[in-house]
């Protein structure tokens, strides 16, 4: 058994790298959104032409990014959604809802101060984690049954 894992959410810290590094040697293939913030914001207009209106500027980019996001989630067995300290992060919560409706196994990675605000998201998840290391330990346990320590 191998696992396909989609890493959704916060793009300003290295949590994805920590998970990927920690999972080395496990039969896991990871996918993720484009995490270059500027490229992600501007991909639509850069490829398809500028827009005067900021709303359509954003819209074109968000739709292009959706090609990758939907593919990543659709293919995944497990979707990890990370909520960070800053920003609205509604795309992260959207991905969690989308993945949940498709029956994917959800793991949420969140700081304690967001626990109350994330209760509906957590209610759809199979694990609420605090650190990338905990995510790695879950993946390892799921794959080979071994526990830390």
Binding residues for a second copy restricted to 58-77, rule: CB under 8 A: 58-72, 75, 77
Smallest separation (angstroms) from a second copy to the CB of 58? 4
Q: Which residues in 130-149 contact a second copy (CB under 8 A)?
A: 134, 137-138, 141-143, 145-149
What tokens appear for 85 in the block? 């300290």
Q: Which residues in 97-126 contact a second copy (CB under 8 A)?
A: 97-103, 105, 107, 114-124, 126
* 105, 126 Cβ separation under 8 angstroms: yes
Taking residue 11's Cβ as centre, other Cβ atoms within 10 Å add up to 21
- If the CB atoms of residues 13 and 94 are measured against a second copy, the closer one turns out to be 94
Burial class (CB in 10 A: 0-12, 13-18, 19+), 131: middle
Smallest separation (angstroms) from a second copy to the CB of 50? 11
Give the span between the Cα atoms of 20 and 123, in whole angstroms: 26
């Amino acid at each position: 058994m191998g696992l396909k894992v989609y890493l959704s959410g916060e793009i300003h810290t290295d949590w994805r790298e920590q998970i990927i590094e920690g999972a080395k040697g496990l039969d896991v293939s990871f996918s993720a959104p484009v995490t270059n913030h500027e490229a992600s914001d501007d991909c639509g207009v850069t490829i398809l032409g500028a827009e005067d209106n900021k709303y359509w500027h954003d819209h074109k980019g968000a739709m292009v990014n959706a090609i990758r996001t939907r593919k990543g989630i659709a293919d995944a067995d497990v979707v990890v959604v990370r909520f960070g300290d800053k920003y609205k992060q509604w795309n992260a919560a959207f991905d969690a809802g989308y993945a949940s409706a498709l029956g994917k196994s959800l793991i949420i990675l969140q700081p304690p101060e967001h626990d109350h605000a994330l209760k509906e998201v957590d209610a759809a998840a199979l694990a609420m984690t605090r650190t990338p290391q905990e995510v790695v330990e879950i993946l390892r346990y799921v794959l080979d049954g071994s526990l830390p320590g």
